[in-house]
Structure 1
Amino acid sequence: MKDANSADPKGDNEDVPAGFTYLGQFIDHDITFDTTPIQEVLVDPLALHNFRTPALDLDCLYGRGPGDQPFLYQLPPNDALFVIGRTNATPGGGDPKVKPSLDFDLPRGPQGQAIIGDPRNDENLIVAQLHLAFMRFHNKVVEGLQKGTVAPPSGLRRSLFEEARQLVIWHYQWIVLNDFLKRVIDKDVLENVLEKGRSFYLPQGDAFIPVEFSAAAYRLGHSMVREAYDYNEVFTFKDGPRKAVPASLRLLFRFSGRSGTGVPIPSDWIIDWRRFFQFQNDGVTAGLSRKLDPFLAPTLSEIPDHGVLPGVNLPIANLRRGRSLGLPSGQNVARRMRIKPLSPEDIAKGPDGQVAAKHNLHLETPLWYYILKEAEQRGNSKNLGPVGSRILAEVFVGLLECDASSFLASNPQWKPTLPSSKPGTFTMTDLLRFSGDLSPINDAKNLLP
């Protein structure tokens, strides 16, 4: 499953900008937090414990709020605002002309670990900067409510923090449903679930995260990861006057609190969002994610022991976890959903398929691998196929419908109210533009004379 041509642009997914890979990771950290080691799971999926509320409520961002976790927020009377961290006081080695100590890092303790609602959002630099973007988004909404430029949510008057929190969460939920999901799954499947209802994800009590989702279908993002990124004008694989080195996966893991090195981040490692999401008329082309197929960036097969993960081959870890959980085969799930399964010949296609067939895995295929193979064979490597799309559509719609405070459950006719490029909708591009500072290292006020 190692991508032998990881730098070949033919392997890029033209429909999905690179930022959605890490938005997917951020969403995962919002709804799941399983701390159960593989060896303790055995074959009992009930041994899994989800320590994250299975709702799209941004508890990874807000924690338990300023009352219970005041260290995430500024001191009164500004306790509706997040504390924002500062970059390193030492100039960066890529471009020392970028001013040090800029407010574009996560807040950190004396040992460099991020003081945030979910420490997993500091395991690589892109998801850390995305977490920071949501913190800055919340703060901008608070400021807009104070100035009267942002309309408060309808209903009973609440505290400034709670009003901002609802606006942020509902706009985020809209993005998950209408921007993220519509890019990575079959749109027709999503529309079918929204219009005709769910058939398979039917919680009898509280909402939960099915193992078919968490251990297989939603691990689609591992296929989307690039080996290196056009991160900003300094750390890029593109030529330019400020280019230092490409932003490789290894460097992105290094500049995180969980690696134990590289933090606070140097100022020249502040992200340029224009290179991760599509903005109009800015003269910069957004980078792309990799295609949805069974091939993963080489570094994911040899993640070093650097504090984030204890030296792991990610594809093998995923397959072992699926086996430990006793996941059904992809063919069994397809049959249960009354979807025609991939044929043994479909699974056996390509160099990866030949290895699968050698071990008879083309007959009953591990679910995670099946989902990626189905994306390749039936989604044209641009989006998930029918089984993967159905799992994601049912679970995400179900999580929203089971949450009485979500916009879909409490006010299904609601439309986004914050400024956007297209009234009545809201995208990640709109969120980042509203927050401002899309490319801080190109802003003259952040550069030394």
Structure 2
Amino acid sequence: MSTGRVTLWFGAGQTLQNDHPGALLSHFNAPGIESKQREMAAYATIEATKAFRQSHIDDFARQSHVQKISLRRTALETLCPVRDPPTCMPASKRYRTHDGTCNNKRRPRWGASQMPFNRFLPPEYGDGVDSVRSSSDGSTLSSARFVSLLVHGARDGEAPLTMMIAQWGQLLDHDMTSTAQPRSINGSVPSCCGGQDFHPSCFPIKVPLDDPWLSPLKVRCLEFLRSAPAQRRDCVLSWREQTNQATSFIDASPIYSNNARSSDSARIFRNGLLVYGRGNLADDVCHRGAIAAHCIRSGDGRSGEQPGLLAMHLVWVGEHNRISLNLSDLNPHWSDEKLYQETRRIIGAMFQHITYREFLPIILGREVCKLFDLELLDSGYYNGYDAKVNPTIANAFSSAAFRFGHSLVQSSYTRCDRHHNIIRNNISLHEEFQKGDIGSAGSLHRLLRGLASQRALKRDEFITPELTNHLFQTPSFPFGLDLAAINIQRGRDHGLAPYTSWRVPCGLTPILSWNDFANAVGPESARRIGHAYRSVHDIDLFVGGIAERPVIGGLVGPTFACIIAQQFSNTRRGDRFWYENGGFESSFTPAQLHSLRSVSLAQVLCRSVGGGTLQPHIFVPHEFMDNERQSCGSGVLGDIDLSPWLEQDLLSEQDFKMAYPNINGSFFKPNPNY
């Protein structure tokens, strides 16, 4: 293989240069490669691909439909990930591993954390490998900030939905996706705007000279880093992929973590409980309904992004502990480990049930849910599990389609008292952690009632300035980031094919002109988007998809509905631990399934707000017919029936210890930090 010079960046201001990719072999040892080393190996493979492409340009042109050259049995094979399957302990027959491995018996890494995203369509990179695509006429695409200003500027308009639907969407997104970011050797975050050392991961967002918000502040650039490249599992010279650090399954991993080691830090190793609060319960503000990060040890580092998300983490840690204590009362001889694992099974099933019963029908509409077989059963077991279905999250889902919820978010969070009266203390989102109702007793209850009452914004291309001008803004800065621009830039970074490329594969009418586009999004939206792009075929997937008119009975447009529905179909059909599945050691009994099918998010929230009333369909305002508020703890808002989890329905404790010794590496030790 003849190549040119290869340059790799291993950290800010640090490079390695070699005349031949084979010289890189000494830097990588396949066994035990850590995340940084995997990233370095991925960079090396990308550079080797570019070098090979340059020296074999004719071969690549003839094989453009393949574009994959295997590294197996070549000098570069050491850059490949280990081929040995993960160790699947007997426990993985009944309980999920925290990292998602061993779900599929033949493909044990499918859906696991730290794996590359899947692709529904091949990427479109400018050079076919990893550079950002250009406009159809060969020019540079418009700045993502420029597009954001023209297309995603704020406009009033509320939806007949509560803010709780946006909050569940964010928690669910964190359950399924977490894109790996680049790492430097010294741990620093490279600066891409104005710095002299320009890191190769830098992909800053240019600010237009006439930007009405940032130009007066003399801001010409917004920081942005490209996602870390993934080490390809197929070990081929091909395009850049990205890593999903989360498991692709709906398994409540934001609560329990994506690896066993960090999951241990959230446990107290007594009665199956998770850490919640500190010290004397009577004096602990956590147990008196406060929103505070120190109250829990989250399984996801993003839990503190904003108060609504942190509140949901607190809700589900509390729900885990309530269920675990009830199971302990039912079966007092159960060990801490058994209580933890059985409760984790139940919580994961509740996440799945709420998503498919309450959330997806609103997002996709009943017809799309039916078309993609996303409807849940009312009785019996699901027979749709298919070991040949890959549940791995698709790049287009993570980087574009499932970001539709950003348009739903209001500029501030409403709080309500026990009688659902609005408490007039609203502040802007970016001021929440400095001036908001955080950390005091009852702040959790007030925010949850507010999220269940406050209307979400209409789902369209418009996004509140709190997210487009003030994202993650701190008191020391007069401006923040732009979430819409980040979404656009991330799609380009990941090589997502432009919007028009997705229509025909989704069974939709092709869009060949601006008139066609106007039929899909409306003339006004088409006009504004037309000012941002030279060609209709340049439109970014996020921009075109979020602007579409909604499907019948749903919230999103048909292109996003297609991508989202296909992903959730794969997620259900490709999960051996799907809660409705029968015939596995992990399957719930019919009586247990009956209990799980009665669960709703409103019930869970009722148990967190300490009584009062809530509407049964928490994503829909209480004013709607047949959704009047009801008393918590009674009727449809009653507790989950755990009686089917009595000992006779499960393994005996002796059988459990024999079958699942040291299930997660914790060795049943107490947590010294609690």
Measure how far apart 1:436 and its partner are. Answer: 5.2
* C-alpha spacing 1:70/1:324, structure 2 compared with 1 (3 Å): closer
Question: Which has the higher mean CA deviation after the structures are superposed, 132-141 or 411-420?
Answer: 411-420
Corresponding residue number in structure 2 for 1:30: 175
1:120 and 2:302 equivalent? Answer: yes
Listed as ranges, the gaps of 5+ residues in structure 2 are 1-150, 183-223, 230-237, 376-385, 614-674
The answer for the alignment partner of 2:367 in structure 1 is 188
The residue type paired with residue 251 of structure 1 is E
Q: Is the 8 A contact 2:430 2:474 kept in 1?
A: no
Correspondence for 2:450 = 275
Do the aligned partners of residues 64 and 219 (structure 1) sit closer, same or farther apart at CA in structure 2, a change above 3 Å counting? Answer: closer
C-alpha displacement of 1:239:
7.7
Partner SS for 2:159: strand
> Residues 81-92 of structure 1 correspond to what in structure 2 (within 5 A)?
81-85=273-277
Show the counterpart of 1:21. 166
Aligned residue number for residue 328 of structure 1: 497
Identity %: 20
How far did 1:28 drift?
0.8
Instruction: Return the letter of the residue paired with 1:173.
Output: Q
- Please state if 1:57 is matched with 2:239: no
Aligned partner of residue 13 in structure 1, secondary structure:
strand
Give, in whole Å, the separation in 2 of the partners of 1:58 and 1:427: 15
1:398 paired with 2:567, answer no
Counterpart residue identity of residue 171, structure 1: M
Pairwise mapping of residues 2-21 of structure 1 onto structure 2 (< 5 A)?
2-6=152-156, 11-14=157-160, 16-21=161-166
Q: 1:13 to 1:434 in 2, by over 3 A?
A: same
In the alignment, which residue of structure 1 is the partner of 2:468? 301
Give matches, 1:107-186, under 5 Å: 108=293, 115-148=297-330, 159-186=338-365
2:529 pairs with 341, 353, 356, which one?
356
Whether the aligned pair in 2 keeps the contact of 1:400 and 1:409 (CA below 8 Å) is no
C-alpha distance in structure 1 between counterparts of 2:552 and 2:390, whole Å: 36
Distance 1:439-1:64 versus aligned 2 partners, 3 A rule: farther
Question: Which of 356, 380, 396 lines up with 1:212 in the alignment?
Answer: 396
CA deviation after TM superposition for structure 1 residue 21, in Å: 0.4
Note if contact 1:84-1:105 (Cα within 8 Å) is conserved in structure 2: no
Partner of 2:58: none
- Partner-residue secondary structure (3-state), 2:487: helix
Given the superposition, is the C-alpha separation of residues 268 and 424 from structure 1 closer, same or farther in structure 2, using an over 3 Å criterion?
Answer: closer
- 1:196-235 to 2 correspondences below 5 Å: 207-233=391-417
**Kept after mapping to 2: 8 A contact 1:224/1:290:** yes
What is the identity, as a one-letter code, of the residue corresponding to 2:365?
D
Q: CA deviation at 1:384?
A: 1.2
Is the alpha carbon distance of 1:263 and 1:292 closer, same or farther for their aligned partners in structure 2, counting shifts above 3 Å?
A: closer
Aligned to 1:280: none
Conservation of the 8 A alpha-carbon contact between 1:105 and 1:265: yes
Aligned mate of 1:431, from 604, 607, 612:
604
Residue 313 (structure 1) aligned with residue 482 (structure 2): yes
Q: Are residues 303 and 331 of structure 1, via their aligned partners in 2, closer, same or farther at CA, if it must alter by over 3 Å?
A: same
Q: Which moved more, 1:19-28 or 1:330-339?
A: 330-339
Aligned equivalents of 2:539 and 2:591: distance in 1? 41
Q: Does 1:340 align with 2:525?
A: no
Residue 372 of structure 1 is matched in structure 2 by: 546
In 1, the alpha carbon distance for the partners of 2:569 and 2:306 equals 28
Q: Label 1:221 to 1:51 Cα distance change in 2 as closer, same or farther (>3 A).
A: same
Task: Tell me the SS of whatever aligns to 2:456.
Answer: strand
1:414 and 1:362 mapped to 2: Cα distance?
53
TM-score by length of 1: 0.74
DSSP-derived class of the 1:356 partner: helix
State the alpha-carbon separation in 2 of the partners of residues 348 and 77 from structure 1. 55
How many angstroms apart in 1 are the aligned matches of 2:396 and 2:594? Answer: 37
- Using a 3 Å threshold, how does the CA distance of structure 1 residues 42 and 139 change in structure 2: closer, same or farther? closer
SS of corresponding position for 2:480: strand
Deviation at 1:106, TM superposition (A): 6.4
Amino acid aligned to 2:250:
L
Letter aligned with residue 81 of structure 1: L
Q: Are the structure 2 counterparts of residues 419 and 430 from structure 1 closer, same or farther at C-alpha, using a change threshold of 3 Å? A: farther
SS at structure 2 position matched to 1:159? helix
- Partner SS state of residue 244, structure 2: coil
Q: Secondary structure at the match of 2:316?
A: helix
Contact 1:329–1:367 under 8 Å retained in 2: yes
Per-residue CA deviations over 1:347-366 (Å, capped at 9, x if unaligned) read 67455432211223545531
CA contact (8 A) 1:291 1:382 kept: no
Q: Distance in 2 between matches of 1:363 and 1:46?
A: 22
Q: Who is 1:96 aligned against?
A: none
Answer yes or no: is the 8 Å Cα contact 1:216–1:367 preserved in 2.
Answer: yes
Code of the aligned partner of 1:146: S
Q: Following TM superposition, by how much is the alpha carbon of 1:132 offset from its aligned partner in structure 2, in angstroms?
A: 0.6
- Tell me if the contact between 1:401 and 1:408 (Cα under 8 Å) persists in the aligned partners: no
Once the two structures are overlaid, the 10-residue window that deviates more, 54-63 or 343-352, is: 343-352
Q: 1:222-280, CA deviations, whole angstroms, 9 ceiling, x for partnerless residues? A: 0111112322349xxx986xx4521431233x26xxxxx98972335324333333xxx
Letter of the 1:321 counterpart? R
* Alpha-carbon distance in structure 1 between the residues aligned to 2:179 and 2:247: 11
Please say which structure displays the higher CA radius of gyration: 2
1:235-254 to structure 2, matched below 5 A, reads 243-252=423-432, 254=433
Query: In structure 2, the residue corresponding to 1:47 is in which secondary structure?
Result: coil
3-state secondary structure, aligned to 1:121: coil
CA contact (8 A) 1:415 1:424 kept: no
Aligned to 1:101: 285
Judged with a 3 Å threshold, the aligned counterparts in structure 2 of structure 1 residues 338 and 416 are, in CA distance, closer, same or farther, namely: farther
The CA RMSD over aligned residues, in Å, is 4.0
Amino acid at match of 2:534: N
Deviates more, 1:182-191 or 1:404-413: 404-413
Offset at residue 186 of structure 1 (A): 2.3
C-alpha displacement of 1:212: 1.0
**Of residues 216, 234, 242 in structure 2, which corresponds to 1:48?**
242
After superposition, the C-alpha distances for 1:356-399 in whole angstroms (9 at most, x for unaligned) are 1122354553111122122xx24379511222112112212211
- 1:322–1:366 CA contact under 8 A, matched in 2: yes
Q: How far apart, in 2, do the equivalents of 1:409 and 1:331 lie?
A: 37
Q: Structure 1 or 2: larger helix share?
A: 1
CA apart distance, 1:138: 0.9
Closer/same/farther in 2, CA of residues 42 and 159 from structure 1, 3 Å limit? closer
Partner of 1:290: 457
Residues 85/292 of structure 1: CA separation in 2 closer, same or farther (3 Å cut): same
Question: What CA deviation, in whole Å up to 9, does each residue of 1:378-428 have, x standing for no partner?
Answer: 4379511222112112212211222211214447998795998xx943321
Using the TM superposition, give the Cα deviation of residue 303 of structure 1 relative to its aligned residue in structure 2, in angstroms.
Answer: 2.1
Residue 122 (structure 1) shift: 1.2
CA distance in 2, matches of 1:296, 1:334: 24
| CA positional deviation for 1:338 | 1.8
Structure 2 counterpart of 1:91:
none
* Cα displacement (A) at 1:178: 1.1
Report the CA distance shift for 1:414/1:25 in structure 2 as closer, same or farther (over 3 A): farther
